[in-house]
Amino acid sequence: MQFILRFIGGLFGSLAERLFVFFMALFMSQAPQYMNLYLNVLSGAKAAYEKSVKEIGEKAAEIGMTTKDFIDDLVKSPSQAAHKSGELHQSQIKHFEDAKAAFDAIKNASAITRPFIFLKHVDWSLAKNVQFQAALPFTLESLIYVIMGIILGMLLYRALLYFPKKLLGKGNKELGA
């Protein structure tokens, strides 16, 4: 029993470490809230891109062309304005496909993989539009993130203390004569 208490006491040694771990856990507990708010922003962007792509398809259908043929025709046009318009339409379709893929990937990710999938698919131009407000979440996912924050906080704190000492040579004990 003493070993367990000493081990736990060793994990939460100093007041500075406790505070660091607390704030890391608090920070991590907000991750699900932020990712859900980001999904809302991404959903709105996806809907806007989808509407734009649908309108391009409708204009192509009016003249009896597929969307791809319509855009290819615009891109190949000698007119500078038509060429730029074709490039814009290609960009809109790519943005829609990227937003749809990111939305599906993040929404369907598990609580453990979601932060990694989020970082892989995040569009920082959309992320800056998230209207974040801190919350006190009471979900299983948040609990998982708090536990991950505690572990990450302990590891980071220990690494921040250990490596500078090691690099500066203060962690080595001198041998006695």
**Dist CA 57 CA 61 (whole Å):** 6
66 and 19 in a common domain: no
Q: How many domains in the chain?
A: 2
Note the pLDDT tens digit of each residue in 116-167: 999 999 999 999 989 888 777 778 888 888 888 888 888 888 888 877 766 6
Unique residue bearing structure tokens 């800056």? 128
- pLDDT tens, 72-99? 999 999 999 999 999 999 999 999 999 9
Pair 59, 117 in one domain: yes
| Residue ranges making up the domain that contains 149 | 15-30+137-156
Same domain, 151 and 107: no
Give the pair of three-digit tokens for residue 76: 């190949």
Q: What is the pLDDT of residues 16-55, one digit of tens each?
A: 778 888 888 888 888 888 999 999 999 999 999 999 999 9
In a domain, 132, yes or no: no
- Is 145 in contact with 32 (CB distance < 8 Å)? yes
One domain for residues 98 and 54: yes
